[in-house]
Structures are given as structure tokens and as C-alpha cells.
């Protein structure tokens, strides 16, 4: 069979993205705007985005960083803390621009120190979220130092997610950046739908977890640019993620978790967690899907299922991928000097055709 030379799909959205703030926005917003129509923007800034008023301000800073002519739409989130007032959810919903609330277990990852220390404390907030139809986005890892770092996602599901779902059966939940066969199995086992007929529980999957297993972090030495959280897992888990992403199951959709950190902060004695994939995200996903002979499943995963889950309209515009990729730059300019994208120096099989109004 001859290989397709182009692939045109509905413009995708990124359902999990870190744009950072201030000077970083001049880099991060154009990267994502060139690829995606919309993105769910993570709130783990310093200080964290804990109120609707802060989310509105942050949104304005993002909008003013868009390239000329771009209609990229940031979908804002709130950062859940032990002291989030339940009334904040009502305000967030009424704003029309806050689309979800993010749960970071305190200490689980970058800027999560003001996260939730005890789930019972936020039960009154979950109550209102359930009533308001506000999705809960979960960084699903336990922070217990007794639990091996590679097991933290599976243990979170057993210890916490099962209980949240039992106590709030109508709460919409996204288990973010799933990395394990256990997470895939758990999400698949939950078949409940909301009133609109869309799944109550879904999961995002990153490009880096589809493309790499944990060996990538140690190939010939320590490779900090492959260090992210949840950490890369064994090959059997990557295979489970590939199978889920390419299965056409609407409970699994695209979320890059592109998480920029300047090169000096990654190549350090205690390097930050996060992979930068936003500048070439779609090319990476296309590569992963093609490896499985499932390019025809990319559009549902990248452009339909997330919008359906969030109750948003699917995009009208389209993007085209062309065979014959460009080489990923070794470094890109960024705050504090530069940044190393995932797969730096590698030539990808696909490249995104750049539309006229958006810089590449």
C-alpha cells in the first residue's frame, strides 16, 4: 500500500497545556496557536490561578500574546486548594471562560505545593462542581514517598479515584496524562455517560508517553529532556496507551502536557519535570499513530472527542500535515536563554503546513 503524502483533519485542540506567564507567553502562545484552535490552560503558575478573577486576567495576558490574526482560544482552569470556596465554582461557571478545575495533590509535581492535602477537605467543592457540570481535571499520582515513583499513578487510582467516583458519581472527570495500563483499564471500565451522552470519565494522553518508554531517560546517560511527571513507564504501558489512543474510543483524547522549562533548569542537578512538545505536537502524534497503522484515527482523538467531552463545538477549520518532516531544532529561544524541545535534532516524518496568518 502506498503511504499517504498528506493528511487533512479538522483543526485539533490541546486539552492539557502549560503556557506559563509573563515573558514566556511571547514564545508559548505562538507555538500552540500555530497548531491548535483551543487549549485547556493549566493554572500551576506562581502564584497559582485560584480565582475566577485571576483566570480572567491570565486569559487577557494570553490573548494579547497571540500572533497577529490568530484566533487561538485559551480555555481557562482554576487551581484547587484546600481552601477553595465552593462559591468560586459558581463564579467560574458564570464567567463562561473557566472550563475546568485542576486537582494537584500537594507536592505531586511542578508548583503543586498549594495543592490539595486531603481530598475530604474539597468535598464541598466537588459537590458544587458536580451540580454545575464543572469538570475536575486530576493529576493522578499519590505523593506518598513510600510508593515507588513508577507506581504512583496506579496507586492513586486505587486509593483515591475509585473513592471520588463513588462519592460523586455524576462529576465529570479527566484523568490527565495517563501513563499506565492500569489507568487505561480503569477508564475503559467506566461506562457512565452524562445527560449529553458523553463520557463522565475520560483521559488525556501526551505525545511523549505514546512515543517513549522509560529507557529514553537513561539511553547512554541521564537524559533530562525526557523527564516528566508522571514519569515515563515500561514499554508494556506505552503499548497500552497507543492501543487506547488509536482505538477510536472517545474517552481518550489529546492533551500534550507540553511543559516548558528553560534549558538551564532542565540540565541541572535537580532538573525540572516537563517535556516541550507544543511546537511540533501534531507531527509527533501523527508519527505515533502512523506507527500503529492508525492515521485515520488521529482526527477523532485530536479534534473531536475532547470538544465533545467539554460540551464545546468541534472546530470548523482544518489543518494539513505533509509527509517529509522538518528537523526539530536543537534549541529554541526562550526566557532565560533557550529551551530544548522533545526530539531535538530528529527529522520527523510529518510537518504541519503553516497557514498564512500564523508564523511558524
Judged by the rule CB under 6 A, the positions of this chain that interact with ligand DOR are: 18, 44, 109-110, 139, 228-229, 259, 273-274
User: Which one of ligand DOR, Zn ion, none is in contact with 229 (Cβ closer than 5 to 8 A by kind)?
Assistant: ligand DOR
Taking CB atoms, the residue at the shortest distance from Zn ion is: 257
Measured from the CB atom, the residue of 98 and 259 that comes closer to ligand DOR is 259
14, 257, 308, 343: the active-site residue = 257
Cα gap 273→265, rounded to integer Å: 9
Comparing CB distances to Zn ion, the nearer of 139 and 351 is: 139
| Number of other residues whose CB lies within 10 A of the CB of residue 201 | 22
- Residue 348 parent element (H or E): none
Tell the smallest beta-carbon distance from residue 22 to Zn ion (Å). Answer: 19
Whole-number minimum distance, CB 153 to ligand DOR, in Å? 11
Taking the complex as a whole, how short is the minimal distance between the CB of residue 104 and ligand DOR, in angstroms? 8
Catalytic annotation present for 189: no
Instruction: Report CA 101 to chain centroid distance, whole Å.
Output: 13
220's CB contacts (< 8 A; 6+ apart) are: none
List interacting residues with Zn ion (CB under 5 A). 257
Nearest to 251 by CA among 189, 195, 206: 189
Pick from 265, 318, 231, 230: nearest CA to 36: 318
Q: Which is nearer to ligand DOR, 12 or 140 (CB)?
A: 140
* Partner from Zn ion, ligand DOR, none contacting 325, C-beta within 5 to 8 A by type: none
Annotate 55-82 with DSSP letters as a single string.
Answer: HHHHHHHHHTTSPTT---EEEEEEE--T
* Residue whose CB is less far from ligand DOR, 7 or 342: 342
- 316 CB neighbour count, 10 Å cutoff: 8
* Distance in Å, CB of 44 to ligand DOR, minimum: 5
Active site residues: 257
Amino acid at each position: 500500500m502506498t503511504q499517504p503524502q498528506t493528511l487533512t483533519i479538522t483543526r485539533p485542540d490541546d486539552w492539557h497545556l502549560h503556557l506559563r506567564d509573563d515573558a514566556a507567553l511571547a514564545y508559548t502562545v505562538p507555538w500552540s496557536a500555530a497548531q491548535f484552535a483551543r487549549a485547556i490552560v493549566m493554572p500551576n503558575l506562581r502564584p497559582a490561578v485560584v480565582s475566577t478573577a485571576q483566570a480572567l486576567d491570565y486569559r487577557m495576558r494570553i490573548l494579547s500574546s497571540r500572533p497577529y490574526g490568530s484566533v487561538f482560544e485559551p480555555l481557562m482552569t482554576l487551581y484547587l486548594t484546600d481552601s477553595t470556596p465552593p462559591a468560586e465554582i459558581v463564579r467560574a461557571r458564570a464567567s463562561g471562560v473557566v472550563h475546568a478545575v485542576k486537582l494537584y495533590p500537594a507536592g505531586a509535581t511542578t508548583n503543586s505545593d498549594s495543592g490539595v492535602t486531603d481530598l475530604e477537605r474539597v468535598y464541598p467543592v466537588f459537590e458544587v462542581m458536580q451540580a454545575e457540570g464543572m469538570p475536575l481535571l486530576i493529576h493522578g499520582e499519590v505523593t506518598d514517598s513510600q510508593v515507588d515513583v513508577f507506581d504512583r499513578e496506579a496507586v492513586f487510582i486505587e486509593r483515591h479515584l475509585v473513592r471520588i467516583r463513588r462519592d460523586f458519581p455524576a462529576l465529570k472527570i479527566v484523568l490527565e496524562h495517563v501513563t499506565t495500563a492500569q489507568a487505561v483499564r480503569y477508564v475503559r471500565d467506566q461506562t457512565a455517560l452524562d445527560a449529553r451522552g458523553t463520557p463522565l470519565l475520560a483521559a488525556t494522553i501526551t505525545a511523549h508517553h505514546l512515543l517513549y518508554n522509560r529507557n529514553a531517560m537513561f539511553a547512554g546517560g541521564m537524559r533530562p529532556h525526557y523527564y516528566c511527571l508522571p514519569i515515563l513507564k515500561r514499554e508494556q504501558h506505552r503499548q497500552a496507551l497507543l492501543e487506547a489512543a488509536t482505538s477510536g474510543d472517545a474517552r481518550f483524547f489529546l492533551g500534550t502536557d507540553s511543559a516548558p522549562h528553560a534549558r538551564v533548569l532542565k540540565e541541572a542537578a535537580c532538573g525540572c519535570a516537563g517535556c516541550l512538545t507544543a511546537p511540533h505536537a501534531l507531527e509527533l502524534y501523527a508519527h505515533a499513530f502512523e506507527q500503529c497503522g492508525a492515521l485515520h484515527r488521529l482526527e477523532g482523538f485530536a479534534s473531536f472527542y475532547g470538544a465533545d467531552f467539554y460540551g464545546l463545538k468541534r472546530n470548523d477549520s482544518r489543518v494539513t500535515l505533509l509527509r517529509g518532516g522538518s528537523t526539530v531544532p536543537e534549541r529554541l529561544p526562550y526566557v532565560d536563554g533557550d529551551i530544548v524541545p522533545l526530539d531535538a535534532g530528529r527529522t520527523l516524518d510529518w510537518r504541519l503546513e503553516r497557514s498564512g496568518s500564523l508564523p511558524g
